[in-house]
């Protein structure tokens, strides 16, 4: 992290876990186990079904609300979809776009990811854009090329004045839910590369302002080392975000003096 230029973001991705009735107790535990800290923003990306409850439970501002997906369309006959405007109306601030699970199981492509990034920005949501390579792609030496492509495709047509609203999360697919975290050095290398891609598109000043997170088996034991890297501005956390004690430890690692 580099607190001079960017806020740290610790974002939990609950995926398809927990029930709406679990939200209140979870938030109270986090409140008890953490202290307010000015340079770290805590976010929980909850399932759609939880957002109304979470909106009320998070009201005191200690946790920002995030969603895990949004429709690429603004409104209309799209059964089962949820628009950016609907999310914004529930005080949702962040939305995950292009998570590898959506790309893998629900057919999202770089093109739909780009449409969703625009849909998020059009409705004043901050997209957390996920990029990452498979183990095979890493072994073949394709990581940098692939990540460059994913970042450029996701940001196509995003104008300069909107780039500050964007968050990128590097999530190597081989590290998600496997316990196989990228080393701090591997994660830093890719995050630095992502910043270089953004610099090429938007210039150095704006590239410095974009938070780039790491996700993939981040937990209370490895968070401190990962967050100490200059281009890792926070985490997108799956499994460990479901356990208040673990998630709080990661928040506190980001809040260290
Ligand atoms: P895990 O932390 O469970 O590996 O999940 C990471 C992730 O996919 C966050 O979006």
Q: What is the mean pLDDT of residues 186-204?
A: 98
Q: Where are the alpha helices (DSSP H) in the chain?
A: 23-33, 51-57, 84-89, 100-105, 110-122, 135-139, 143-155, 184-202, 204-209, 223-227, 244-254
Is any atom of ligand 1 closer than 6 Å to the C-beta of 92? Answer: no
Question: 203 CA distance to ligand 1 centroid (A)?
Answer: 30
Q: What is the mean pLDDT of residues 84-110?
A: 98
Residue 56 scores a pLDDT above 90: no
Q: What is the mean pLDDT of residues 70-77?
A: 98
* Residue 69 or residue 3, greater confidence: 69
76, 81, 86, 90: CA torsion to nearest 10: 160
The structural domains of the chain, with segments of one domain joined by +, span 8-254
Is any atom of ligand 1 closer than 6 Å to the C-beta of 237? Answer: yes
Residue 104 scores a pLDDT above 80: yes
Q: Which atom of ligand 1 is nearest to the CA of 241?
A: 2
Residue 61 scores a pLDDT above 70: no
Residue given tokens 């034991």 in the structure block: 221
Count of Cβ atoms closer than 10 Å to residue 234 Cβ:
30
Q: What is the pLDDT of residue 210?
A: 98
Q: What is the mean pLDDT of the chain?
A: 96
Is any atom of ligand 1 closer than 6 Å to the C-beta of 238? Answer: yes
Whether 133 is catalytic is no
Q: What is the pLDDT of residue 1?
A: 82
Question: 234 CA distance to ligand 1 centroid (A)?
Answer: 13
Q: What is the pLDDT of residue 141?
A: 98
Closest CA to 49 of 23, 73, 31, 72: 23
Task: Read off the pTM.
Answer: 0.97
Question: 236 CA distance to ligand 1 centroid (A)?
Answer: 7
The token duo for 118 is 């625009």
Q: Given ligand 1 and candidates 169, 180, 215, which is best to mutate, with the most ligand atoms within 8 Å of its CB?
A: 215
38 exposure class (CB count in 10 Å sphere: 0-12, 13-18, 19+):
exposed
Q: Using an 8 Å Cβ cutoff, are 62 and 40 in contact?
A: no
Whether 85 is catalytic is no
- Radius of gyration, alpha carbons of the chain: 17
Residue 256 scores a pLDDT above 90: no
Q: Which atom of ligand 1 is nearest to the CA of 96?
A: 10
Residue of minimum CA distance from atom 5 in ligand 1: 238
pLDDT tens across 140-173, in order? 999 999 999 999 999 999 999 999 999 999 999 9
The CATH class for the domain spanning 8-254 reads alpha beta
* Residue 2 or residue 128, greater confidence: 128
Question: 239 CA distance to ligand 1 centroid (A)?
Answer: 6
Give the least confident one: 22-31, 55-64, 71-80.
55-64
Q: What is the mean pLDDT of residues 43-66?
A: 91
Q: What is the mean pLDDT of residues 20-32?
A: 93
Q: What is the mean pLDDT of residues 233-251?
A: 97
Q: Does residue 118 sit in helix, strand or coil?
A: helix
The token duo for 21 is 């009735």
Q: Using an 8 Å Cβ cutoff, are 133 and 139 in contact?
A: no
Three-point CA angle 101, 7, 242, nearest 5° = 40
- The fraction of the chain above a pLDDT of 90, given in percent, is 90
Residue 60 scores a pLDDT above 90: no
Is any atom of ligand 1 closer than 6 Å to the C-beta of 216? Answer: yes
User: Cα dihedral sign for 111, 116, 122, 125?
Assistant: negative
Read off the pLDDT band of 40 (50, 70, 90): very high
Q: What is the pLDDT of residue 237?
A: 98
Q: Which atom of ligand 1 is nearest to the CA of 218?
A: 2
């Amino acid at each position: 992290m580099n607190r001079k230029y960017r806020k740290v973001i610790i974002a939990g991705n609950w995926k398809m876990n927990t029930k709406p009735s679990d939200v209140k107790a979870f938030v109270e535990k986090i409140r008890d186990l953490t202290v307010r800290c000015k340079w770290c923003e805590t976010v929980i990306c909850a399932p759609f079904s939880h957002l109304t409850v979470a909106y009320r439970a998070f009201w005191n501002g200690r946790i920002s609300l995030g969603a895990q997906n949004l429709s690429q369309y603004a409104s209309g006959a799209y059964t089962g979809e949820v628009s950016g405007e609907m999310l914004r109306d529930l005080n949702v601030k962040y939305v995950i776009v292009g998570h590898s699970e959506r790309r893998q199981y629900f057919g999202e492509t770089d093109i739909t990811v780009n449409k969703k990034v625009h849909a998020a920005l059009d409705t004043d949501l901050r997209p957390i854009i996920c990029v990452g390579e498979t183990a095979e792609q890493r072994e073949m030496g394709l990581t940098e090329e692939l990540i460059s492509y994913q970042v450029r495709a996701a940001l196509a047509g995003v104008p300069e004045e909107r780039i500050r609203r964007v968050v990128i999360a590097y999530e190597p697919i081989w590290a998600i839910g496997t316990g196989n975290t990228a080393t701090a050095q591997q994660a830093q290398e890719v995050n630095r590369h992502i910043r270089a891609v953004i610099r090429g598109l938007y210039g150095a000043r704006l590239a410095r302002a974009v938070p780039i997170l790491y996700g993939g088996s981040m937990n209370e034991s490895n968070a401190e080392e990962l967050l100490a890297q200059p281009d890792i501005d926070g985490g997108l956390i799956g499994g460990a975000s479901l356990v208040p004690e673990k998630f709080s430890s990661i928040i506190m690692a980001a809040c260290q003096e």
